[in-house]
Amino acid sequence: MIIDIHTHTFPPLGSMCGEDPPELQMRFLQHHLYFHHQGWYCEQTKQITLEPSLYDSDKPGINGMRDVDFRVGGFGRLMYTDNGENFWIQWLPPSFRELECTPELLLANMDYVGIDFAVLCPTHIYGELNEYTSNCVRSYPYRFVGIAAIREWRGFEGDEIARLTRAVEEMGLIGLHFATEAFFMVDYLEDWSSKRFDPLWKEVERLNIPVFWDIFSWGNDPWAQWKLEAKRLSDWANRFSQIPSLITHGLPILRWEHSADHVVIPDFIWELYRRPNIYVEVMLPGQLGQEYEYPYPIAKTILYELHQELGPHKLVWGSDLPTIERMVTYRQSLEYLKYCDFLNEEDYGLLTGGNAKRLLKLS
């Protein structure tokens, strides 16, 4: 069985979904794209800028967000206007006219490529999705499982802990997605690894579910911030050693020393990845596609090093469909693994399904 650990379904971006208003979703999207490597195209100058005027550079949180009429465009684009100039970024493939990914569209892609099962991962940039995700799973229980989301920056509050409990015990979701980026809502003044958040993690332990981590870096020195978040997560994984966790998106390769045939993985990354309760998502096209060409010879080098250092039982394949199709097709997001000839049949099976089944306790 081939399992994609990282997919998304969502209603049209900018529409009402769940309890959160569309305006909050737009704030999340605007912040998410503060530092995006793809760049923004200016319709007036016909140039791409890597320094969008979306926020005050000294204030990477909510209080630094500028009012630039950030909005949804058509055909996969997000847009904003600053000083009379219009900017857009190709966030989804151009074929996404309405910027929506229904479960039926996801299933059609899965059937075409030969993917048996998928995990639906909610994030705030797509809306407040617990009920929506639950409905997708209930409609197609033999093809999907879903994980839950909470308002991370308020994760120590009883209401948010209760939100998680309801999502698992009543809605049938089987994990928690936790994005450290969400702390921009409080200008990154809260520390999710502090003991203030322990009641949340104790409830995760009681529910016996995994955590899907989305580590985010911000500000004028994003590499230093990613290092800080990785250190926090390593310490957290040691304290809560009974909670299995997946580091989504895998390696932020373009943030550290690399070339077309070599990557130096820092020691603090190995410290985190070697924690017994940590799994690592292998989603290399999403990390390499902006700079390198398919089939990414460097991907073979990176995966070989991960495989040698961590063994075959900690690596989990995911695609990040539909956004991955900015870089490669859905089929290519899986088939580049076939160039990794050091993977034997058993290792390939663990990477593309077996490890996901164990992490999610799927029968």
CA distance 99 to 15: 10
* CB-based contact 172:148 (threshold 8 Å): no
Q: What CATH class does 3-11+98-360 carry? A: alpha beta
Which pLDDT does position 52 carry in this prediction?
78
Which residues 6+ apart lie within 8 Å of 301 measured at CB?
A: 261, 262, 263
Domain with CATH 3.20.20.140 in the chain: 3-11+98-360
Q: Kindly write down the DSSP assignment for every residue of 152-189, as one continuous string.
A: GGGTTSHHHHHHHHHHHHTT----EEEEGGGGGGGTT-
pLDDT tens, N- to C-terminus, the chain (363 residues): 999 999 999 999 999 888 889 999 999 999 999 878 888 999 999 999 988 789 987 888 999 999 999 999 999 999 999 999 999 999 999 999 999 999 999 999 999 999 999 999 999 999 999 999 999 999 999 999 999 999 999 999 999 999 999 999 999 999 999 999 999 999 999 999 999 999 999 999 999 999 999 998 766 677 788 888 999 999 999 999 999 999 999 887 766 677 767 788 889 999 999 999 999 999 999 888 878 889 888 899 999 999 999 999 999 999 999 999 999 999 999 999 999 999 999 999 999 999 999 999 998
Tens digits of residue pLDDT in 76-102: 999 999 999 999 999 999 999 999 999
Please give the Cα distance from 6 to 319 (Å, whole number): 6
**Three-state DSSP state, 282:** strand
Element (H, E) at 213: strand 211-214
Give me the residues paired with residue 42 across strands.
87
Report the pLDDT value the prediction gives residue 255, as an integer from 0 to 100: 66
302-341 burial by CB neighbour count: b if 16+ within 10 A, else e? Answer: bbeebbeebebebbbbbbbbbbbbbbbbbebbbebbeebe
Strand partners, 176: 148, 211
